[in-house]
Amino acid sequence: MSVDEDDLVFTPERAPWLGSGPLARLLAVLDANGEEARVVGGAVRNTILGLPPGDVDLATTALPEVVVQRATAAGFHTVPTGIEHGTVTVVVNDQPFEVTTLRRDIETDGRHAVVRFGRDWAADAARRDFTMNALFLRRDRRVIDLVGGLADIRARRVRFIGDPATRIGEDLLRVLRFFRFHAAYGSGEPDPAGLSACIRARGGLEILSRERVRVEMLKLIVAARAAETAVVMADSGILDRVLAGVAELAAFARLGAVETALGLSPDPIRRLAALAVRHLDDATRLRERLRLSNDEHRRLRVMAASWWRIDPNAPEEDMRAMLYRIGAENFRERALIAFAHSGAEAGDRAWHKLVALPKRWTPPKFPLAAKDFLERGLEKGPMLGMALAQAEEAWIEAGFPGERSRLDAIVQTAIKSARAGPAISEK
């Protein structure tokens, strides 16, 4: 959408969250008695772009201890989430707000900063990362732009405030944030000055905590223009440094198109699998590289395992057998990865039908139990477990029959095989 002078004042219809509810109560406490508080950052940017505000953060002239005193006196709950850097989380009616005292960086090492509190709004804006993130919204609904953020929002341009190299030197994570915000809010090519500075600083990514890199990457790869942005990152020698491997750019782009065609919400772990996982070893590498959770690593392994065996041209009974073995959700995830790597168009009907197999067919429950074998004279013990396992495999291979006669035949064959024991090869 375009941005014009009307955007300098938010009407009640545009930002109803400003004039009532928990935020209004908090502003009434902080924006008074010699102190000023303003909404800052993403909520202002998103509202201008016609997007939901998301989390609402505040900047204030009040020192952290004053924020705590006022909020506590008003009956709000406070949490010192980053008080050494001036940030206090204030919870009003179960809604959290990050409140940060105006500050300037006096010492940085690319990961951490030493700050000095102040009352200068321009100095606080100048230390932020991108112009579109440094807009302030006053309680009277007027937007304050001290860095040219409105013009950059108009151009859908992600631009560092001041010298890009300086901003990146303050926090090297801004290399990844530049690409993430471009993927989410930018259009066209990335800002040349910002891109050049990110390329020069790419070697410094190694000093960042893997947890912080993980957060940025998982947000980046689900953004609207993630596929195009990933190409730029790969061409710039940045993506391979983050992933420690070769990116599958075509599969990544196709998965995004497939998700759109199927009406699926972007999923960060599924997107990561398409971008950087072909084999189980890749899943393990990414677990360490990005400090993935156990569940995230498990999902990557599921999608990495034999995805190439999922084929819409294969007999459906083979696909049903795989679905039975790995479960409906795992099958769908693995099928989507196979679809992404297939080279097929996102609207391919055969692939759509295969991805929908878990909706079209519900795997039956294995109809045999231990008693079916005990009744026929097989004793409890390892042989019983072997017979059950063999019977289940035979039942799957036979197409999941339910007729008693066929089940009896499967039981008899499994018992005979179990009693015979494993075949001994002759050399």
Domain ranges (residues) in the chain: 1-155, 160-237, 244-363, 370-420
What CA–CA distances, in Å, run from 152 to 3, 216, 222, 282? Answer: 9, 22, 22, 38
Q: Which of 270, 366, 362 has its CA nearest to residue 323?
A: 362
CATH number of 1-155: 3.30.460.10
Q: What is the pTM of this model?
A: 0.87
pLDDT value of residue 422:
63
Contact 378, 415 (CB under 8 A): yes
Give pLDDT tens digits for 395-415. 999 999 999 999 999 999 999
Question: 225: pLDDT confidence band, cut at 50, 70 and 90?
Answer: very high
Mean pLDDT of 355-362: 96
pLDDT, averaged across the chain: 93
Residue 100 pLDDT more than 80?
Answer: yes
Q: What integer is the mean pLDDT of 362-378?
A: 94
Residue 8: exposed, middle, or buried by beta-carbon count in 10 A (0-12, 13-18, 19+)?
Answer: middle
Distance (Å, whole) CA 295 – CA 265: 19
User: Phi then psi for 320, rounded to 5 degrees?
Assistant: -65, -40
If you average pLDDT over residues 272-285, what whole number do you get? 96
